[in-house]
Amino acid sequence: MLLNPAGERVPNPEYEPFVADVTGDQLASLYEDLVVVRRLDIEATALQRQGELALWPPLLGQEAAQVGSARTLRPDDFVFSSYRENAVAYCRGVELPDLLRVWRGTAQSGWNPYEVGMATPSIVIGAQTLHAMGYAVGCLRDGVDSVAVAYFGDGATSEGDVNEAMIFAASFRAPVIFFCQNNQWAISEPVGLQAQRPIAERAPGFGIPSIRVDGNDVLAVMAATRQALERARAGEGPTFIEAVTYRMGPHTTSDDPSRYIDPLQREEWAAKDPLARVEAHLRDTGVLTDELAEAIAGRADEIAARFRKGCVDLADPRPLDVFDHVYAEPHRGIARQRSQYAAYLASIGEAQSEGEQR
């Protein structure tokens, strides 16, 4: 921990050097990121409740873990995430409407991964860790010092994919960071059910050094990630980071956490809010004034308004678009299914508005 819940700097000789260059203004910029991504998360939740999205996976409470790690990456690093890393996507430069395409049902994917250095989210739990490990081995073969980062939750650590990825990564000394956001819940199951010991203690068993960090402390997360990046770029292989945080909202908007979360536990974690501690520190040091706080809130509202407009302006897909991009090359099976579905639509008087007879 480098910044405690009261906003006080905590001396830490090992990790302090990794964030010694972060000025007050830069910390204020990180604070703005935290405010903006929380505002976007609230807006997306509202859009789902209003019927504009089919589903949304909130990140409320996990902002520091995502912003603190994502802001340390270089453009040529590559991210493989699950479905909750919307703040990471924002930091990587994903366009606002692209964050919502899948959840609105207008596309099967959200963005071009090569434009932002981030694959589209994996819904399959833990599968992205294998993708990241493979990408990292590719970086080794190419002789570049780019790093792959796999984001996943505590629940994913029970999946075979995650364990297999760590075995391969250790074997090849792959430049990959396994970034686990331990938000205390695998949907409705508490982390203690699947992890009798801290999750970070598992990685050394694979030969991978690990760091357990306060995931609600944006500076500590940044320091831990920079240390892991430094190791990877120096050819020292993978690192496992367990960012201990708390999911303040539901697993998704289809979930009701009041059925399984103790409200007293939630209150305890609310006192460790990742935004509040940065705000307290910036105000104590005189960096954050009322005027600056108001300006940041205004920018967050403006971005949220563009986010909403981008969502409702997304064009509906044509019925036959579902057959596009299944294979890179023409495929007779897909062509047959497409033709049959087109004939069915025609039989009931529906047709694609244009280009349906391709």
- Using an 8 Å Cβ cutoff, are 341 and 320 in contact? yes
Structure-token pair, residue 42 = 């609230």
Strand partners, 151: 179
Q: Which residue of the set 104, 202, 251, 277 is catalytic?
A: 251
Q: How far apart are CA 292 and CA 285, in angstroms?
A: 14
Residue among 247, 281, 308, 338 flagged as catalytic: 247
131 is catalytic: no
Q: Please indicate whether residue 331 is annotated as part of the active site.
A: no
d(CA 239, CA 211): 8
Q: What are the respective helix, strand and coil percentages of the chain, to the nearest 5?
A: 50, 10, 40
Contacts for 298-305: CB closer than 8 Å, 24+ residues apart:
299/32, 299/36, 300/32, 300/35, 300/36, 300/38, 300/39, 300/40, 301/39, 303/36, 303/39, 303/40, 303/96, 304/39, 304/40, 304/42, 304/43
212 is catalytic: no
Give the residue numbers annotated as catalytic, written as ranges.
Answer: 247, 251, 260
